[in-house]
Structure 1
Amino acid sequence: MVTIAEASFWTPPPCPLTTIRSCPLSLVYLGDLVFTPGTPDTGESSESAWLRAFREVLGSADIDEDTNFFQAGGHSLLIPRLLISYESLSGWYPPVSLVFKHSSPRELEAETAVLYERIAEHDDR
């Protein structure tokens, strides 16, 4: 759990989306980690949340774990849609830079696991 003493909060500008929960600008900044409170996907599907988000946003069932977002037709204007889709599946809105650094579902799952671990380590302090 992050306390007010441990985190600095940024007040976002008005969001055009209907709820602040779904607004990508409702972020909490903790060191170099940016996240919204939520829980990882614990659904029954064997597919990763990233893979499902890629397929939804890119509109193709041919997407696999090693598909590069940009080579499959994704572009910078689709990244917010990808992140909102991922958030709806996982409860966590990752930083935009994550998609530029890790552009396949497999890479994003690995990096997301690292970030969750870092958040959990911080919570244990």
Structure 2
Amino acid sequence: MVSSRTKSKSKSGEIKKHLYYSCGAFRNKGSSVCSVNSIRKQVAEEEVMNRLTRVLSKDNILKAIVDKMNHRLSTRTLPLQAELERIIGQLDKVCSENRNTSICLSLGTWTNRSLLEECKRFRLI
């Protein structure tokens, strides 16, 4: 359903706007696909709200909806949590290597060649 509007002029010359919901296939593809099936916007919205109120007033249905939404939210974060753990692992490795590099530099245990290789590895050169 898509929203649409019409204008009509009363006998007094006043222009009235009417809001409707109508079939989207009719609006996009024409009468060969579907009939217009229009319904006034206010009537449709009141019916939707009434049905939602009836459904959500039943505790077992409301609990099932909340449980399903919570499950969806928790499963969406699983790939992100795995990615976070992977990044933290990489960060720990880099920090460890950085500490080792600092220790070697302070002790003077590196040769010029090994220092050059480390600089290239960390893209310092």
Q: Normalising TM by the smaller chain, what interval?
A: under 0.3
The structure with the largest helix share of the pair is: 2
Structure 1 length-normalised TM: 0.19
Larger radius of gyration: 2
Using CA pairs below 8 Å that are at least 6 residues apart, which structure has the higher relative contact order? 1
Structure 2 length-normalised TM: 0.19
